[in-house]
Structure formats: C-alpha cells, structure tokens
Structure 1
Amino acid sequence: MTSVFNTPPPDFSQKEVQNLVEEHFKIAGSVKSLVSDRDQNFLINSPSGDFIFKISNSMESKDVLDMQNNAIRHIKDNDSDIELTYPQISNNGDEIIEIKKNKSTCFARLLKYIDGTFLKDIDCKNNLLFKLGQFLGRFDLALAGYDHPAAHRSFIWNVQSVNQLRILINKNSTDKKIINYYLDFFKNEVLSHDDHLTKAIIHNDGNDQNVIINANRKISGIIDYGDMIYSYRALEPAVCMAYVAIDNDDPFSSVASILKGYHELNPLNKHELNSIIYLMCMRLCISITMAVYRKKLFPENKYLIVSEMKARKFLKKMLNEDLNKWANQLIEFVR
C-alpha cells in the first residue's frame, strides 16, 4: 500500500522554494535546504524573520497537517511560553497551501523558526535530562484535552500498531527474532494492562534532534510534529528515553532522570511506570525495522539510518538484562 513511508519525498529546488515563499507569503529571503525524513524542509532567512518552509510528502493527508496546526494552537492557549513552530498565514489566508510539481501535488506550510541549539549538540548531564523530562511533561499537560480524528490514524510509529510491525518484520530476517522477543514482552507487560494506561495525543518524537536549547541553556521548544499520534501517554517519555539510552553505555541513571522529571510534572500511574522499559524497547524495534525497510527504497537518504546501528546494539544488549528488574528500578527511582 502506498504511504508517506514508501513514496519519495518532494523534490523542489531552492530557487523554486524561494519563488513559492515570495508568491504565497510575500517574504523574500535566502533559502537553505535542510535534512528531512519523508518531507522536504528549507530554512528561510529574511528581513521579516527566519522561517521553515515545510513541503509535506505527496501522500500526507491535509487532515494530519490540520491536526498538527490545531495542536500547536491548543498548546499555545495553555502554555504560551513553550516555543513551537507556529504556522504562518498565506496571502490567501491559509495555513496550508497546495503546490504542484511534475504532476505531483503536495501541501506546504511556512513555519516559525525556533532559534537555539539541538539537544544532540549539547553535553547532557542528568540535571539537564531531568529538565528534559519536565519539559515533555509540561508539553503533554498543555496538550491535554485536545483531540482530532487524524490523531487516531493507523501509523507504524505508534507502538500500538503491532500488526503493522509484524508485517514489516517478515521482510526483515536480520532482526525478526529479536523483535519477536520484545513483542512478547510488550504483549504481556503492556497490552495486557491496556485499560490502565492513559491515552492521549502526544508528540511521539521527543528525541535529541527535535528538542531545542536556548542561549541560556534552558529547554525552550520542540519541533517536528509529524509523528504526533493518539497513544499511550507513557510513550512520550519512553521515546525520549529510548534515544538517550542508545547513546550511553550505562544508560540507567540518564533515562531514569528523564522519567523522574516527567513524572514530577505529569504523574504516571503504577501501570504506566511499569510499561516504560517495554515501550522504550518497542520504539527501538520500530526504529530499526523502519530503517531496514526504507533504506532499501531510498538508499541516498542517510537520515533514515541515523539511529539504526545504535538501536540494534542496545536491543541486543538488553537481551541479557532482566527487563522486569529494570521496570522495578525505574519505579523506585522516580518515587
């Protein structure tokens, strides 16, 4: 089935983008291409300010973009101090414009640029990771109560979409055994307690490439809402913890600090706390599966494999760990 994951990203030139931004938003400036997964992103520097021109994959639904835009407004209404990539209004009064190239139609948005440094470029100590957890907890509190039909779409990056994952791992003989190992844990330790796990719309990608640190070394904002989904609330800190864990040979104190910060602002129940380690591992299972699947389709896009090797190494390492013990130790740490 055709989707945003097997359809090539848009292919607009910097000159074409320059013309589009001037035509639709009356903003003239320089254009720089940025890395992206399934979309196409450009940094626009202009006298009017700095912006991101985001051209969505041709298979992306307008409803998904509308969901993201409305989520941003909801957060702003509840916590205006969180820096977000607010959509700009076009000359025709639209937040989402339609553009065409080579018989392909894409939706595009001009978004506010958030100045700062990515978390990945900062030496993160546990006190900063604690604040990262707090930030994600604060983000989810500001998002609480928001809903949108597009957030309930079938989506592989939602850990609840295990059937999609099972289909893909049948094409991935390299990792099939290890992923099935974690799927069994997920079934027994997460899905069996589904009724006790709070669900909400979450960012679902609070990794170190999306979180922004300002000049005062404070976590100020977050970008890239493309994976936003209705899922387990506990998945929010778990995703962040997973990507921190793969960069650390002894990750417990680092990931536990994130969880403690989140739990302090947005308390999780005992079932949610117990689920964290299994959610972490499932996220990384999805990560390596998607990397294997998509790098075959788009071998030139190195962004697709940025976490693959480290994620696989972590999952193999955790085969020798007692995951139930990890769950109990995380609970003890945050309480």
Structure 2
Amino acid sequence: MSAAALDIFGETLAEDAPDASEVDALAILGRHYGLTGTARPLPGERDHNFHIKTEKDGEFVLKISHPAEEAGFTDFQNKALDHIALVDPTLPVPSVRKSLGGEAQFAISVAGSAPRIIRLVTYLPGVLLSRSPTSVAQDRNVGIFLARLGKALRGFFHPAAGSDLLWDIRKVAKTRPMTADIADAGHRALVERAIDSFEEHAAPIIPQLRAQIVHNDMNSYNVVMDASRPELVTGILDFGDMIHSPLICDLAIGAVYRWPAEGHPLAPAARFVAGYQSVQPLEAEEIGILFDLIRARLALIANIASWQAERFPAKRAYVLRLITEVWTSLERLDALSPADARRYFLDHSNPE
C-alpha cells in the first residue's frame, strides 16, 4: 500500500498504540478512581481495554485510547451513553464511571507514552453473540434491539458525529486500493463487484434518506447475549464507530452478521430486518438498497482486514477473525441479483 493510502485513511492506524500492561491499568484504577481489583486485557482494534473486577464495586472496562484519538470523539461516546440512559433507561448499554475528580475522561501518559485518554465504563455480563448459538428468535431479537438503540439516539447530536471515519460504509469505494492486499484473485473480484454494485445502486440514493447518529458497528463481537437464554440480547458494546449516517446503513451492518445459513442466504438477515421493522418501519427506498449496503459492508471488512493484517502482524489473528465468514457470505450473495434480493427482503422482512 502506498503512502497515498495512508493519507486517505488518516494516521490513527499508521502504527500500533504503545503497550499498556495490567500493572498500568491497576495503577490508573487506584490513583484516579479509588478502586482496587484485577485487570484482564480485552482485544481491541485501536484502544487498550481491560476487564476490571473489584470486590465491592462491580465490574468495569478501563479504556486507554490510542494516542491519536481526539478528546472530542471520546466525549461523543460519553455523551451518547448518557443520552441513551436518559431516553431509554431499560436499554442495556455501558454507563460512564466518573473519576475521583468528577471527570468522565482525562488524559495522562501511560508507560511513558504521549498522553492517552482514559475512561471507565460498566461491564455488561453475558456471552458475546459470536459465541452464542443462533436461532430464529435471536435473529429477530437482535433486530429489535438495534431499532430500540436507534430510537434512543434519534434526538442526540454531537459535533464529532461528522468525523471522517474509516468504517463509514458510504465511503467503501475509497478502499479499492486495499484490494491489493487480498491474495486470492477470486476474492478480489468479489470485492470489486460488491463495490461496483454499491456505486451503481446505493450511492445515488443515500443522500435522499433519513439520517441520524447511529452505533455503526453492530458486529457479533459487540453484542452481548444472555448466557442461559442466547436468544435474548443483554447489551451492546463499543460506541467507538458512531457516526451521523442513514439509518439503513446501521441496519445493513447488523444484517451482515446474521450469516447466511442453509436455504436462502438472506433468510437470517430478513428475520433480523423483520424484528427491526416491528419497532422502526423502513421506507421503500431504504429496503431497495439494503442488499447493496450489506455487500458493501462485507467488502469493507475484507479490504480493511486484509490491509491491516499485512501492516500489523501482531493483530493479524484479531483483524482476520471473521474473514472465513466474510468470504462465504460474499460468495453466496454474489450469486443473487440485486433485484431478486430486493424482492426477497420485501416478501420476507415484514414485521409479524
């Protein structure tokens, strides 16, 4: 990848963040929050996150941001969580724990690094969606949850919502240069066709559609399910990719992770959309481009993951953890025409 590609996607991913250890995490916890406990590292794309367990004060996630992260964007996340708690207090999302100084976030040097933004949020117990058995009820319930989250964010705004985000599905065409890091020619062709279809069918329609701040990353590692009843959603994590975007883009992202099963490849996604529509009905123009948005998100994952895997070998397993499912989905969806896919969604995603 050329230096020009780095100019397109910014400097945040140009290098890994400096390491932060469990010792660093516990020192921050004690000094700034007056808490003691244990710290276990959690995986993350940009930040260093730690699962904190205390004896008397519950469980938390300590978030140590990448040095390139801007304070305005983490403030965006804090304010969004506060807004959701106010509008829909029954919706299980993390809540912000303020420091001893009453701060939702602060910046300090960690292990000699440049200043990094520190935040502490509550930990949501359960099992990640990626590790939960799937079911028809789960497909629908995850859709319902995303619709509720969208409604809770509907009246919220923040200046950082207009940030130029790498994971903005609307900018998938800008990732074309990243296809050079996809080794398999057939896979590269799948990605190219998905981007071409997005540009032809979805891009001209998107500016006409309703938009608001959305979560923008309902992937299967960000959704928490009940351990004993895996069809029930108990929370959603990681608000770090929030953006002001069309609602249908947010829905398409969640639909991607209802991976094609036996039978029609869009069946799980259609059940997910039906659940969503039972809370938030879609407009005809939105349903009309949903299939192209799903394929565009898959192309985005393939491009970014392949690009990152080449440049950050230590994170290769993490960034490629879903690549098998991505290629399988792209292959199965490539066999459908956009017109047939639109008809399927119209016929099978109505709320019951």
Q: Same fold (TM over 0.5)?
A: yes
* C-alpha separation in 2, matches of 1:30 and 1:92: 22
1:275 to 281, 286, 289: 289
* Within-5 A mapping of 1:205-244: 205-214=217-226, 217=229, 218-244=232-258
2:213 paired with 1:204: no
* C-alpha separation in 2, matches of 1:173 and 1:192: 31
* Bigger Cα displacement from structure 2, 169-178 vs 58-67: 169-178
What SS class does the counterpart of residue 314 from structure 2 fall into? coil
Which residue does the alignment assign to 2:135? 125
Retained in 2: the 8 A contact 1:156–1:164? Answer: no
2:41 paired with 1:33: yes
> Alpha-carbon deviation of 1:130?
0.5
* C-alpha separation in 2, matches of 1:230 and 1:10: 30
Retained in 1: the 8 A contact 2:270–2:349? Answer: yes
* Within-5 A mapping of 1:149-228: 149-169=159-179, 172=182, 174=184, 175-214=187-226, 217=229, 218-228=232-242
1:317 to 293, 311, 332: 332
Residues 78-122 of structure 1: per-residue CA shift (max 9 Å, x gap): 100111111111111111121213342211111111111222222
Unaligned segments of structure 2, at least 5 residues: 1-6
Which residue does the alignment assign to 2:79? 70
Which residue does the alignment assign to 1:326? 341
Residues 122-170 of structure 1: per-residue CA shift (max 9 Å, x gap): 2121112101101100110011021112111111211112353234335
* C-alpha separation in 1, matches of 2:163 and 2:31: 33
2:121 to 111, 125, 141: 111
* C-alpha separation in 1, matches of 2:31 and 2:19: 18
What SS class does the counterpart of residue 230 from structure 1 fall into? strand
Unaligned segments of structure 1, at least 5 residues: none
> Alpha-carbon deviation of 1:75?
1.0
Structure 1 letter corresponding to 2:17 = P
Structure 2 letter corresponding to 1:66 = D
2:156 to 137, 146, 151: 146
* C-alpha separation in 2, matches of 1:77 and 1:189: 38
Retained in 1: the 8 A contact 2:181–2:310? Answer: no
Residues 254-309 of structure 1: per-residue CA shift (max 9 Å, x gap): 11100001111011100111111111111111101111111112112121111123
Structure 2 letter corresponding to 1:57 = H
* C-alpha separation in 2, matches of 1:297 and 1:185: 28
Retained in 2: the 8 A contact 1:156–1:165? Answer: no
Structure 2 letter corresponding to 1:115 = P
* C-alpha separation in 2, matches of 1:123 and 1:192: 38
> Alpha-carbon deviation of 1:206?
1.0
What SS class does the counterpart of residue 58 from structure 1 fall into? coil
* C-alpha separation in 2, matches of 1:19 and 1:156: 32
- TM-score normalized with structure 2 length: 0.90
Retained in 2: the 8 A contact 1:86–1:111? Answer: yes
* C-alpha separation in 1, matches of 2:172 and 2:298: 13
> Alpha-carbon deviation of 1:184?
2.0
What is the aligned-residue RMSD (CA, Å)?
A: 1.8
What SS class does the counterpart of residue 216 from structure 2 fall into? coil
Retained in 2: the 8 A contact 1:10–1:39? Answer: no
* Within-5 A mapping of 1:240-251: 240-245=254-259, 248-250=261-263, 251=265
* Bigger Cα displacement from structure 2, 280-289 vs 313-322: 313-322
- TM-score normalized with structure 1 length: 0.94
The percentage of aligned residue pairs carrying the same residue is 25
Which residue does the alignment assign to 2:3? none
Q: Summarize the Cα distance change of 1:13–1:195 in structure 2 as closer, same or farther, 3 Å threshold.
A: closer
> Alpha-carbon deviation of 1:249?
4.7
Retained in 1: the 8 A contact 2:67–2:117? Answer: yes
Which residue does the alignment assign to 2:312? 298
* Bigger Cα displacement from structure 2, 170-179 vs 228-237: 170-179
Retained in 1: the 8 A contact 2:178–2:306? Answer: no
